[in-house]
């Protein structure tokens, strides 16, 4: 039997946060495109940023892919293609630890320069600080969890992962999280909380990663007409037309 | 043939007095904002000098512009698409704020609040980045008029190329001013380097703009632009650039820098060009062929085939007519006295320069010879290799022949027109010696010396096919799009993650001193809001009735004398 708190944490809270995550991004994209940027501070400080920022970002990209594998792909699928449990864990832990340590070292470098470079500190908002705190905790706990796989015998692919997917199947299984070790629980809660913060922080830049650059022509042209406000005019603010618009 | 129109500028460097009026008026209009302190859409450099940002012309260091790859095709000097994306987390060639300068203000408050003391209180410089006391060591024109030239000028990348042996000695000094704006290139490297595709060239007039709503602050365009005319705004996290004052151009007015130029040395007009041949021209194997190659891309608006193709491309008749009258076309294609700035960057720049003859004239006059005589000037042009090579390093990738040619034309014009102005017999041999006729020479003189406002600026207003668009001009500001700089209301720099001013320093000017001032307002200014919530029900609410002058004579409620702000 679940306590109310368990129900809230592992069933209600995730849905609240996911809703905020989705609607928040829609809202931010519609109403604050101008604020949608990574707000780089490279101009102020580059010596630490030069190694720390790529290290953090490539690390976290690897971590993300690891989560897609670990949370998104059911155990039965990997088994079906002939990856044994031992093999999977060996790969997951070794790659995970390397990526995790890279991420943390990069993160520490970034936080250090943010704190101790006056100009960068001056450009840090309260929201940034909250986000760094939560993000840092999530990353540290994530690495702890990965490391704990070496000694512990908790099979997260049968627990946390199933619970995670169950949220999206709309048949959530909160009991699985109740049974998970504490460090997994905190990691999950903070991560979910981070998703709720996400649309209101500079993290939004992740969703406009410019992958299309590889395919587009170098030189872009736009007609003045198309440029006239890159966003369609808000409802109620249409101009008085003398000729019906063709568009 | 794909005919396109390009708004372009030519600056006659002989006339620049280095007053920086253009920079100041431009800044007042466009970048007088927190976060944009170091952003000078227009800056004026003393040459020889390091330029702004420092040594920006050293492309081995900053990797701006294009180069040719092994197969002779254009590629960005900073690297291809994958390299661009992989360096997004730490752009390797990005200038830091110190390469511009650390923005500062002064602690003016101390002047009025300091306690009585023996010495005059001073307003100490304070960094706008950290809020702390700072020492000013550089600025956008720190080396103005060769200031500190012994220390600084040897860092000039153009001078370094001219000759490794030149020591910059005071006696050898020559100098001139180089005002610079964005080149609105035909093959803009900034556009190509932008991972998001937020930068674009306007199809109608070729003006290169950044979509502020789409820019994500990846900063690759700053590296991409070899002229370093892409500036990262450190408050908004977005990149800004010279807009060619497009809201003014659209209604037929010159840019602010042109309008306010004290020397009246700027010319504005259209060029027609063949967009299909741009890449081929930009990929000309020999750097020194780039100037000619770019000139060949321009089309003659009197050529019937060009006119036909221009119509087919939807270019309106009055624009073609404007291209015929364009002073830019006359200076670039007819008289061939304007040269592109650093064509070797292969971006096909569209702000061209008439190189200055004055270093030559000065050198001749200093020797006591007649600095207006063409023979003396021609001889000096042949002799004064350092200034000429330097100019060639700026304008023709080091090829001195075009610079020689231009200076000879200018020298000939000087000499020929002196004879006419003095009432002497004009010497037709002078224009002939530079391959021109006397008539051409007088026409060129007219354009360079006495052209009036509407000859210097031939700007066809934006062509609106639809009546509803005409309404747009009449009723609203072009900048007044959602999120645009002219958007009504307070300018929010960062949305949710907005950052406050540092130590209250840059916020201190935010209070409007005019507000709440005691003097009666003669009539309601445009845009005053009527706030009935602040009205206590007695007297008349502020701003509801226009004539406050009248209202001040009316009996008002003594308990509520002020306007309440
Ligand atoms: S000069 Fe202007 S158009 Fe040319 S590359 Fe630089 S920013 Fe772009
Ligand atoms: S306003 Fe004109 S004369 Fe003065 S610095 Fe600028 S370009 Fe030169």
pLDDT digits (tens, 9 = 90+) for A168-208: 999 999 999 999 999 999 999 999 999 999 999 999 999 99
The confidence score (pLDDT) of residue B174 equals 81
Beta carbon of B220 within 6 Å of any ligand 1 atom: no
pLDDT above 80: residue B487: no
Residues B179 and B246: their CA atoms lie apart, in Å, by 19
Nearest chain B Cα to A206, which residue? Answer: B216
Beta carbon of B356 within 6 Å of any ligand 2 atom: no
Structure tokens at A57: 């970002």
Average pLDDT (A34-49) is 93
Nearest chain B Cα to A241, which residue? Answer: B468
**Cβ(B121)–Cβ(B110) under 8 Å?**
yes
Query: SS3 string of B345-409?
Result: HCCCCCEEEECCCHHHHHHHHHCCCCCCCHHHHHHHHHHCHHHHHHHHHHHCCCCHHHHHHHHHH
Complex ipTM > 0.90: no
Residues of chain A with Cβ-Cβ distance to B471 below 8 Å are 239-240, 242
Average pLDDT (B16-37) is 95
User: How wide is the angle at C-alpha B409 spanned by C-alphas B376 and B255, nearest 5°?
Assistant: 125
Residues of chain A with Cβ-Cβ distance to B467 below 8 Å are 242-243
Label residue A82 by pLDDT band (50, 70, 90): confident
Label residue A42 by pLDDT band (50, 70, 90): very high
Average pLDDT (B413-432) is 94
Identify which of B186, B289, B198 has the alpha carbon closest to the alpha carbon of residue B241. B198
Residues B251 and B242: their CA atoms lie apart, in Å, by 18
Q: Using CB atoms, which residue from A41, A122, A221 is nearest to B203?
A: A221
Q: Check CB contact under 8 Å for A230 and B213.
A: yes
Residues B63 and B45: their CA atoms lie apart, in Å, by 21
Look at B280-289, B302-311, B353-362, B430-439 and tell me which has the smallest mean pLDDT: B353-362
**Cβ(B381)–Cβ(B329) under 8 Å?**
no
Give the ligand 1 atom nearest the CA of B64.
5
Residue B148 class from Cβ within 10 Å (0-12 exposed, 13-18 middle, 19+ buried)? exposed
Residues B352 and B336: their CA atoms lie apart, in Å, by 11
- Beta strand B199-202 with B176-180 is unpaired
Residues B122 and B118: their CA atoms lie apart, in Å, by 12
Give the pLDDT confidence of B423-438 residue by residue, as tens digits: 999 999 999 999 999 9
Per CATH, the homologous superfamily of domain A4-216 is Transmembrane di-heme cytochromes, Chain C (1.20.950.20)
Average confidence score pLDDT of chain A: 89
Residue B553 class from Cβ within 10 Å (0-12 exposed, 13-18 middle, 19+ buried)? exposed
CA distances from B110 to B113, B120, B123, B126, B168 (A): 5, 10, 6, 12, 42
Return left, alpha or beta for B109; rule: phi > 0 is left, psi -120 to 50 is alpha, else beta. alpha
**DSSP H stretches of helix in B87-124:** 97-100, 109-113
Q: Check CB contact under 8 Å for A228 and B472.
A: yes
Nearest chain A Cα to B214, which residue? Answer: A33
Centre of ligand 2 to C-alpha B8, Å, is 17
Q: Check CB contact under 8 Å for A39 and B217.
A: yes
**Cβ(B402)–Cβ(B395) under 8 Å?**
yes
Helix (H, G, I), strand (E, B) or coil at A33: helix
Nearest chain B Cα to A53, which residue? Answer: B89
Helix (H, G, I), strand (E, B) or coil at B3: strand
Identify which of A125, A124, A126, A145 has the alpha carbon closest to the alpha carbon of residue A191. A145
Ligand nearest to the CA of B210: 1
**Cβ(B215)–Cβ(B239) under 8 Å?**
yes
pLDDT above 90: residue A110: yes
The confidence score (pLDDT) of residue A231 equals 52
Identify which of B411, B408, B412 has the alpha carbon closest to the alpha carbon of residue B430. B412
Q: How many alpha carbons lie under 13 Å from residue B48 in its C-beta half-sphere?
A: 30
Beta carbon of B179 within 6 Å of any ligand 2 atom: yes
At residue B416, φ and ψ (nearest 5 deg) are -60, -45
Look at B215-224, B377-386, B504-513 and tell me which has the smallest mean pLDDT: B504-513
The confidence score (pLDDT) of residue B527 equals 55
CA distances from A228 to B247, B364, B476, B479, B480 (A): 12, 54, 12, 9, 10
Q: Express as a percent the part of chain B with pLDDT over 90.
A: 67
Q: Which protein residue's CA is at the shortest distance from atom 2 of ligand 2?
A: B261
Neighbours of A122 (CB within 10 A): 20
Residues B219 and B387: their CA atoms lie apart, in Å, by 35
Average pLDDT (A84-100) is 90
Give the ligand 2 atom nearest the CA of B263.
3
Place of tokens 């102020």: A44
Sorted by sequence, the CB contacts under 8 Å of residue B526 that are 6+ apart come out as: none
Centre of ligand 2 to C-alpha B266, Å, is 9
pTM of the model: 0.83
Structure tokens at B398: 């080091």
Structure tokens at A117: 């470079």
The confidence score (pLDDT) of residue B532 equals 64
Q: Using CB atoms, which residue from A32, A40, A54 is nearest to B496?
A: A32
Structure tokens at B360: 């030559």
Give the pLDDT confidence of A116-168 residue by residue, as tens digits: 999 999 999 999 999 999 999 999 999 999 988 888 788 888 899 999 999 99
Beta carbon of B76 within 6 Å of any ligand 1 atom: no
Helix (H, G, I), strand (E, B) or coil at B48: coil
**Cβ(B228)–Cβ(B239) under 8 Å?**
no
Residues of chain B by 3-state class (helix, strand, coil), percent to 5: 40, 10, 50
Give the pLDDT confidence of B336-379 residue by residue, as tens digits: 999 999 999 999 999 999 999 988 888 888 888 888 889 989 98
CA distance B212 to chain A (A): 6
The confidence score (pLDDT) of residue B88 equals 94
Q: Using CB atoms, which residue from A35, A44, A205 is nearest to B97?
A: A44
Residues B290 and B282: their CA atoms lie apart, in Å, by 7
- Beta strand B3-12 with B266-274 is antiparallel
Helix (H, G, I), strand (E, B) or coil at B220: helix
Q: Using CB atoms, which residue from A201, A216, A219 is nearest to B497?
A: A201
pLDDT above 80: residue B545: no
CA distance A84 to chain B (A): 34
Q: Using CB atoms, which residue from B131, B195, B482 is nearest to A231?
A: B482
CA distances from B27 to B96, B230, B264, B412 (A): 21, 15, 19, 38
Domain boundaries, chain A: 4-216
Residues of chain B with Cβ-Cβ distance to A214 below 8 Å are 81-82, 85
Residues of chain A with Cβ-Cβ distance to B200 below 8 Å are 220-222, 227
Give the ligand 1 atom nearest the CA of B189.
5
Give the ligand 1 atom nearest the CA of B183.
1
pLDDT above 50: residue B548: no
CA distance B449 to chain A (A): 35
Give the ligand 1 atom nearest the CA of B188.
5
The confidence score (pLDDT) of residue B160 equals 75
Q: Check CB contact under 8 Å for B498 and A39.
A: no
């Amino acid at each position: 039997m679940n306590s109310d708190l368990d129900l809230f944490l592992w069933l209600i809270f995730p849905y609240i946060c996911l809703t905020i995550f989705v609607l928040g991004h829609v809202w931010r994209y519609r109403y604050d495109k101008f604020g949608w940027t990574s707000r780089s501070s490279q101009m102020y400080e580059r010596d630490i940023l030069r190694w720390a920022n790529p290290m953090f970002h490539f690390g976290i990209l690897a971590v993300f892919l690891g989560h897609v594998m670990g949370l998104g792909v059911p155990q039965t699928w990997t088994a079906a293609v002939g990856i044994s449990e031992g093999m999977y864990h060996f790969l997951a832990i070794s790659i995970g630890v390397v990526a995790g340590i890279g991420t943390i070292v990069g993160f520490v470098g970034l936080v250090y320069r943010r704190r101790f470079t006056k100009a960068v500190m001056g450009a840090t908002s309260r929201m940034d600080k909250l986000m760094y705190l939560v993000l840092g905790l999530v990353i540290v706990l994530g690495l702890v969890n990965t490391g704990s796989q070496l000694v512990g015998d908790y099979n997260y692919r049968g627990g946390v992962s199933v619970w995670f997917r169950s949220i999206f199947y709309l048949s959530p299984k909160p009991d699985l999280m109740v049974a998970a070790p504490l460090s997994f629980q905190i990691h999950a809660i903070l991560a979910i909380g981070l998703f709720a913060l996400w649309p209101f922080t500079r993290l939004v830049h992740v969703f406009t990663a410019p992958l299309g650059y590889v395919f587009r022509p170098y030189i872009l042209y736009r007609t003045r007409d198309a440029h006239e406000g890159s966003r369609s005019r808000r409802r109620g603010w249409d101009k008085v037309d003398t000729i019906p618009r063709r568009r | 043939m794909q005919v396109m129109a390009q708004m372009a500028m030519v600056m006659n460097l002989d006339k620049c007095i280095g007053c920086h009026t253009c920079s100041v008026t431009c800044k007042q209009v466009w970048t007088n904002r927190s976060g944009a302190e170091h952003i000078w859409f227009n800056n004026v450099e003393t040459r020889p000098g390091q330029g702004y940002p420092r040594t920006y012309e050293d492309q081995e260091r900053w990797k701006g512009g294009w180069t040719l790859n092994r197969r002779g095709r254009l590629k960005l000097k900073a690297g291809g698409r994958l390299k661009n994306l992989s360096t997004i987390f730490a752009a390797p060639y990005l200038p830091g704020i110190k390469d511009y300068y650390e923005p500062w203000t002064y602690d003016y408050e101390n002047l009025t609040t300091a306690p009585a003391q023996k010495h005059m209180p001073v307003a100490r410089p304070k960094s706008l980045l950290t809020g702390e006391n700072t020492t000013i060591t550089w600025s956008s024109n720190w080396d103005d008029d060769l200031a500190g030239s012994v220390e600084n000028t040897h860092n000039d990348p153009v001078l370094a190329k001219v000759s490794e042996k030149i020591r910059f000695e005071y006696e050898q000094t020559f100098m001139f001013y180089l005002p610079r704006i964005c080149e609105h290139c035909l093959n803009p490297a900034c556009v190509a380097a932008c991972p998001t595709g937020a930068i674009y060239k306007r199809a109608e007039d070729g003006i290169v703009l950044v979509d502020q709503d789409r820019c994500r602050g990846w900063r690759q365009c700053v590296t991409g632009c070899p002229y370093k005319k892409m500036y990262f705004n450190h408050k908004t996290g977005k990149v800004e650039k010279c807009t060619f004052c497009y809201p003014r151009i659209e209604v037929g007015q010159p840019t602010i820098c042109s309008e306010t130029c004290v020397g009246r040395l700027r010319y504005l007009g259209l060029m027609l060009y063949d967009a299909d041949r741009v890449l081929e021209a930009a990929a000309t194997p020999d750097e020194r062929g780039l100037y000619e190659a770019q000139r060949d891309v321009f089309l003659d608006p009197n050529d019937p085939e060009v006119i036909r193709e221009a119509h087919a491309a939807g270019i309106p008749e009055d624009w073609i007519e404007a291209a015929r009258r364009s002073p830019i076309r006359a200076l670039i294609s007819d008289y061939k006295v304007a040269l592109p700035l650093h064509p070797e960057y292969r971006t096909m720049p569209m702000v061209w320069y008439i190189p200055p003859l004055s270093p030559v004239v000065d050198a001749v006059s200093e020797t006591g010879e007649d600095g207006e005589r063409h023979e003396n000037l021609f001889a000096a042009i042949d002799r004064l290799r350092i200034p000429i090579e330097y100019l060639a390093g700026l304008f023709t990738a080091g090829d001195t022949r075009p610079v020689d040619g231009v200076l000879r034309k200018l020298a000939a014009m000087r000499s020929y027109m002196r004879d006419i102005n003095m009432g002497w017999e004009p010497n037709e041999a002078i224009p002939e010696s530079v391959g021109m006729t006397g008539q051409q020479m007088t026409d060129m003189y007219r354009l360079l010396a006495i052209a009036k406002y509407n000859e210097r600026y031939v700007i066809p207003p934006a062509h609106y096919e639809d009546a509803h668009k005409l309404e747009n001009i009449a009723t609203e500001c072009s900048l007044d799009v959602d999120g645009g700089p002219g958007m009504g209301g307070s300018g929010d720099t960062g949305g949710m993650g907005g950052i406050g001013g540092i130590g209250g320093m840059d916020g201190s000017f935010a209070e409007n001193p005019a507000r709440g001032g005691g003097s009666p307002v003669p009539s309601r200014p445009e845009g005053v809001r009527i706030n009935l919530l602040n009205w206590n029900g007695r007297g008349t609410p502020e701003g509801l009735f226009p004539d406050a002058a009248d209202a001040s004579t009316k009996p008002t409620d003594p308990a509520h004398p002020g306007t309440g702000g």
